[in-house]
Structure formats: C-alpha cells, structure tokens
Copies of this chain bind each other. A is one copy, B any other.
C-alpha cells in the first residue's frame, strides 16, 4: 500500500483541484473553509481540495470535493486559474487547478462538525494554508469580473428573491453602492427577471416584490448580441 508503484521516465508533479466555495447570506459573501487536520499547515484553514484521480477531469474532481463538503451535486463549478509555483507545497511539486463554486446556502447540508468546516464572511477570513491567500484573492477578482458580464449572481440567491437581495449581492461582490432606483430600473429594463408570483391580496406597501431569473430570456437576448454590463 505504501509502495511507490507509479513510475515515470521524467518527474511528474502531483495535480490537485481546489474549490473556493462561495455563498451569500443576504448580506455578505461567505467562503467555506476546512481546518487542516494534518501537516503541513496543520490547524490552518484551507479550501476544500484534493488530488485529481487518474480517470477524472479537474472539474469532476472539484465537484467531488464540493459534494463531499456540501452535499451539492448541481452547483456551478468553474475553473479560474492554475497555480504552479514550484514551492507552493512543501511535500512535493504540486500544481493546483483552482475552481470556484457558487452555492445557495439554504441548500447546503449542515456540516457535521463545525470545527472542521466553517463558513467565513469575506471580512473575517483568517490567513490560509499554502498559497490559498493568493488563490482567494484571484477567486474574488474573478467573481467580480464575471458577475459584471454574466448572470452568475443568481446562483447564489434562492430561486425567488427580492430586488433588494439582488442589489445587496451585487454590492457585496463588487464592493460598491448603487442607487436603489437606478438599480431597479436597470435590472428591470434588462428583461431577464420575471415576477415570481402576483402580489397576494394582503400585500401591503411594505411587502417586497419577488423575482425569478429568466434563464431562457437571457439566452435569447445573449444570442442577439446583448451583453450584460455592470
């Protein structure tokens, strides 16, 4: 079991897939971290990740990690950068293909052990193992860029949401503030939202309108050359 059975003519790096899992609680962006139980960096927090099996793609590997930690199997998982620094892992040469995942917090299976896996608000993330600080920075940047041009934000919200929740999400990710009326107008004019339910009888002025992302409408617009922009 511990023999060195896999031999090559030239040195091969190990390949891992890491998964930066983003969630949104209505106010802040959150990231799921795992406390390392073994050396190196024992006791430090890191992203879920692991060695890519010889018969799976990096994306399958990242999705496997995601499923192990959250129980989710149909979330968005996308590769964003491959980290290849020579000494990023003290054990051996390890190349990691970094992914981010977008999940709805409500759908995440509660972790069995809060000591081991924990959600951190963006502002409370501790210093991480390996080069994961750098990976996080790049993941956040990538998320910022992509949400400007693609409707990935909806993957972090419940199916049905209010305009205020949507605005909070954009503001949290982009770290800016929008004028509420302008945000409403812009979003509604885009034509990619549908009112989820007609307002109930007893709807008061205070009851917010619920929306749903209209994926087919978006696909249609996109095909016509429409581009989302924030």
* A interface with B by C-beta (< 8 Å): 2-15, 51-52, 54-59, 79, 81-82, 84-86, 93, 95, 97, 229
Contact = CB atoms under 8 A, between A and B. Distances in A.
Contact of A9 (B2, B52, B81): B2
Given A79-B81, A81-B79, A86 B11 contact: no
A91 to B, nearest CB: 11
A9 to B, nearest CB: 6
Given A9-B6, A12-B6, A82 B79 contact: yes
A12 B15 contact: yes
A218 to B, nearest CB: 18
A12 B13 contact: yes
A52 B86 CA distance: 11
A57 B83 CA distance: 9
Given A58-B82, A85-B57, A95-B58, A7 B10 contact: no
Nearest to A8: B6
Nearest to A82: B82
B10 A12 contact: no
Given A5-B9, A9-B5, A14-B12, A84 B55 contact: no
A152 to B, nearest CB: 15
Given A56-B86, A82-B97, 5 more contacts: A2-B9, A5-B9, A10-B54, A15-B15, A15-B95
Contacts of A57: 84-86
Contacts of A81: 79
Contacts of A4: 7-9
Contacts of A6: 7-12
11 contacts: A5-B9, A8-B14, A10-B54, A11-B54, A12-B14, A12-B15, A13-B52, A52-B95, A56-B86, A79-B82, A84-B97
Nearest to A149: B145
Nearest to A57: B84
Contacts of A5: 7, 9
